[in-house]
Structure 1
Amino acid sequence: MASSVKNLCTICHDDGIFNPAVIWCTECAVFFCRDCEKPHSKFHLSTNHKTMSTEDYRKLPTFMQEISSQCKDHKKKIELYCPFHASPCCVQCITDKHSKCHEMKPLSDILKQVKSSASVQLFEKDLKDAKENLDTAIKYMKNKISTINTQKSKATEEICYMRKLINDYLNKLEQDLLNDLDSKHSKLKSNMDTLVQQMEHQASQIDLMQSQFTKMTQYATELQMYIGLREIEKIASQATKYSEDLESAEEKNLEMVLL
């Protein structure tokens, strides 16, 4: 398309001259500078051509700028319209593509009052409705996003609160168990300290008895030895029973520690 360099005159550019364009001819599909536009507007074949300023041309959507009044295949002016193919065409197109098509119409008849046609108004309404629907949907989705953000914040607060309750409960449970353990340990240690004292006393008594037994075997008479042995046997029996009682008490104390 000749408008690939939008700001330059097409005629001058073909001659290697870079003059800024001021108008665009919709029928010639050519940009003209001020000098080239004058003969174009006076030439009898192009006097009635529709033109627009380059500023207005650049306001058109890109896809519309690419639409030309010349046939892309034959480089001839598009003057006809094929209803069967719903396609504008040039004279050469009739031979190449539309030889079997009937009721070819002048393109000028199709284009009459196209901007004020019901189709344009319908499309405008459809676009407006589509935009309003999208705006409504966007607003709805933004509200939903705001809602789920609020829900997430509340859920996070609830989780943190529940975590605190659980931590507080576990801390209290831990402290109660530790306090109970300290109490049991103190009581058990006190009992065991008492037993140790008793055992040490019994041990000292046995040491004394051993010393006395040694002296008895060395210096006692037979009668003294006979009677003394019975006393020693009685004391030894008591010591044995005391040791057995200690073993039973020790096992009981260990069980208390395990509980």
Structure 2
Amino acid sequence: MASSDMKICSLCYEDDDDGSFTDAVEWCIECEVFLCTDCEKHHKKSRTSKDHKTMSTKDYHELPRFMQEISNQCRDHKKKFDLYCSFHACPCCVTCITDKHQKCQEMKSLSDVLEQIKSSASVQLLEKDLKDVKESFEEIKKYLKSMMETSDIQKQKAAEKIQSMRKSIDDYLNKIEKDILDDLESKQSKLKSQMNALLQQLTQRANVISQLQSEFSKMTQYATDLQMYVGLREIEKTTSQAAEYIEDLKSGGQFDENNIEVTISSEVQSILKDVKIIWRY
């Protein structure tokens, strides 16, 4: 059979020796040759080929590849297929019988096998099967498109849910932040108040000691022995009380550092690690 991309007249090509070619316009299905306009006219007038079916070269080239590759002639022996081997499920020419099918018992006439093949039940069944498979593909495509559209809607809803959740979390964290800052302000204010009160007490007692220092200096300059004796006892008493006061403050932890710190609970910290999105398919 001529190649599927051949567009020159097969008969002119075989007869011409000068290398000139004539464009083909028809393809004879039974002879399996391309025909130019002149050859096609002779082909229709010939007694052996006037009833042959032909098609335009354009229609021929639009045939499926497998149809172009199936020939009515045996490739090995260049003879027309006349028989059909049921054992090997293949058409045969006369020479094929002696060449490859000597032991095959189930040989049939090819014309009997092909008789009314186009109107057979198998053709109708295959046509129905093709239609059913095509409809199945269309239904699956429609279903997948519907799934994709549903997926887009679900994605939008999920995004809105995430944004709403984000706002709720932000609001909650803002509230926690405000509560913690308010509590921090309260505790720091209380701490400063306690330290101011202690500072005032220390300032008062320090002023008393400063006054005693001034009086002690004058006493050493101007006091009589008796005044010096009595004054020393009074100053010693006050000084001793002041020293005891200082020691009590030290032993009571009044001078310990009071650091302001915030400890974030492990539950809150776990939010950064444990928040996950669960996908359900």
One-letter identity of the residue aligned with 1:240: A
Percent sequence identity over matched residues? 60
One-letter identity of the residue aligned with 1:5: D
Structure 1 gap segments, 5+ residues each:
none
One-letter identity of the residue aligned with 1:124: E
Asked if 2 retains the 8 angstrom alpha-carbon contact of 1:23 and 1:31, the reply is: yes
Q: Report the count of equivalent residues.
A: 258
Structure 1 residue 91, shift from structure 2 partner: 1.7
Asked if 1 retains the 8 angstrom alpha-carbon contact of 2:86 and 2:106, the reply is: yes
Match of 2:258 in 1: 254
Structure 1 residue 148, shift from structure 2 partner: 3.4
One-letter identity of the residue aligned with 1:87: C
* Higher mean C-alpha deviation, range 213-222 or range 173-182: 213-222
More helix by share: 1
- 1:216-251: CA deviations, max 9, x gaps? 234333322221111112211231233245443635
Q: Is 2:76 the counterpart of 1:76? A: no
Match of 1:135 in 2: 138
One-letter identity of the residue aligned with 1:254: N
Spell out structure 1 runs of 4+ moving beyond 4 A: none
Pairing of 1:207-246 with structure 2 (within 5 A):
207-246=210-249
Asked if 2 retains the 8 angstrom alpha-carbon contact of 1:27 and 1:77, the reply is: no
One-letter identity of the residue aligned with 1:199: L
Asked if 1 retains the 8 angstrom alpha-carbon contact of 2:4 and 2:61, the reply is: no
The structure, 1 or 2, with the larger RCO (C-alpha pairs under 8 Å, 6+ apart) is: 1
Instruction: Give the 3-state SS of the residue equivalent to 1:81 in structure 2.
Output: strand
Asked if 1 retains the 8 angstrom alpha-carbon contact of 2:9 and 2:34, the reply is: yes
Structure 1 residue 187, shift from structure 2 partner: 3.0
Q: Is 2:186 the counterpart of 1:183? A: yes
Structure 1 residue 253, shift from structure 2 partner: 7.7
* Higher mean C-alpha deviation, range 198-207 or range 10-19: 10-19
Pairing of 1:5-154 with structure 2 (within 5 A):
5-13=5-13, 15=16, 16-154=19-157
CA RMSD of aligned residues (A): 2.6
Asked if 1 retains the 8 angstrom alpha-carbon contact of 2:4 and 2:68, the reply is: no
Q: 1:210 to 1:160 in 2, by over 3 A?
A: same
CA distance in 2, matches of 1:90, 1:203: 134
Residue 167 of structure 1, aligned match among 166, 170, 173: 170
Match of 1:156 in 2: 159
* Higher mean C-alpha deviation, range 119-128 or range 73-82: 73-82
Q: 1:12 to 1:242 in 2, by over 3 A?
A: farther
CA distance in 2, matches of 1:25, 1:127: 29
Instruction: Give the 3-state SS of the residue equivalent to 2:3 in structure 1.
Output: helix
One-letter identity of the residue aligned with 1:227: V
